[in-house]
Amino acid sequence: MAKGMREIKRSIKSKQNTKQITKAMEMVAASKLRRAQEAAIAARPYTDKIKEVVASIASGAGTVKHPMLQSREVKRTAYLVVTSDRGLAGGYNVNVLRKIWAVLQENHKSPSEYDIFVIGRKGRDYFKRRSIAIKEEATGLPDAAKFSDIKAIASSAVSGFESGAYDELHLVYNQFHNAMTQVPVIKQLLPLDQSQLSGAKSDYEYEPSPEKVLDVLLPKYAETLIYSAVLEGKASEFGARMTAMGNATKNATKMIAGLTLTYNRARQAAITQEIAEIVGGANAQQ
């Protein structure tokens, strides 16, 4: 009995230590989530303004055409998948990777029909385990990711569409709703949807021409959309980790309570047995 009680006590101590760790991780994730949300909000004015200018040019005249706005026959597709570098974030990575894998299996007969760009170690390792070639990867992004951190992979993905290496570029990431809800989505990034660029025409004169201005702005706009997806992905990651660690803390509390009850019962039974043995010994001496 004493041996069993020692094991229970050791298990209680182990779970108390785990609870302290998960609670600390929950608090850290909550703090990082707040900063990630602030970063996403801070990036919106630039995105909105460049979208406004692009919309003004794109809707200003029917003669304005640009390859990034024109649909073409889809022979090859590229996917830019946003994941995290670390785990312990619930279903954050699993959900988005399961979604992109289902799309690849459904829409493509072989890996030769698509290119994969990956942000995050979890996504990189996932595709490598399945022997899927990765066109380009970006790992080790800081928690407060800056545009410069994803500039190279974003520029490579966008320029690949411009050069005709593939005919569509899709973004795959977790869309942030709140700390409890992150929804994996696949959005077409290129060609840009002109219906989303509808806007009032501004009375501006562009030099040397609207097309030349679009040559500069459209790639930047597409790269900015990728950066916005990364910021949403970061917020989703911290929200998922905060929720997962909160659930782990609650589960640890329940396990500790159950083990404590078992320990107290075993201790009570041991004491009762000792009393019975003492009383039995005393009676035997009479």
Q: pLDDT by residue for the chain (286 residues), tens digit each?
A: 555 788 888 999 999 999 999 999 999 999 999 999 888 888 888 887 877 777 777 666 555 677 788 888 889 999 999 999 998 898 899 999 999 999 999 999 988 899 999 999 999 999 999 999 999 999 999 998 999 999 999 999 999 998 889 999 999 999 888 888 889 999 999 888 766 666 555 566 777 777 787 888 888 889 999 999 999 999 999 999 999 999 999 999 999 999 999 888 888 887 887 777 777 776 676 6
Q: Of 27, 229, 44, give the one whose Cα is nearest residue 141.
A: 229
- The string of DSSP letters for 104-170 reads HHHH-SSGGGEEEEEESHHHHHHHHHTT---SEEE----SS--HHHHHHHHHHHHHHHHHTS-SEEE
| pLDDT for residue 250 | 95
Q: How do the domains of the chain map onto residue ranges?
A: 2-25+244-285, 27-242
Q: pTM for this one?
A: 0.85
CB 175 within 8 A of CB 183: yes
The number of residues in the chain equals 286
In this prediction, residue 6 carries a pLDDT of 86
Task: Count Cα neighbours of 75 within 13 Å in the Cβ-side half-sphere.
Answer: 6
Q: Which two tokens stand for residue 196?
A: 């989303």
What pLDDT score does 77 carry? 95
* CATH architecture group of domain 2-25+244-285: Orthogonal Bundle (1.10)
For CA atoms 177, 182, 186, 189, give the dihedral sign. Answer: positive
How crowded is the C-beta side of 57, counted as CA atoms within 13 Å? 22
Dihedral Cα 112, 75, 183, 233, nearest 10 deg: 70
Task: Note the pLDDT of residue 204.
Answer: 66
CA distances from 118 to 34, 83, 126, 212 (A): 25, 8, 10, 31
Residues 87/73, Cβ–Cβ less than 8 Å: no
Pairing of the two strands 77-82 and 168-178: parallel
Provide the sign of the torsion angle of the four alpha carbons 57, 62, 63, 65, taken in this order.
Answer: positive
H/E element, 208: none
CA end-to-end span of the chain: 29
Nearest CA-CA partner of 223 in 98, 125, 119: 119
**pLDDT value of position 41:** 83
Q: Judge contact between 94 and 173, C-beta under 8 A.
A: no
CA-CA distance, 186 to 174, in Å (whole number)?
Answer: 9
Class of domain 27-242: alpha beta
Q: Which of 268, 262, 231 is nearest to 8 (CA)?
A: 262
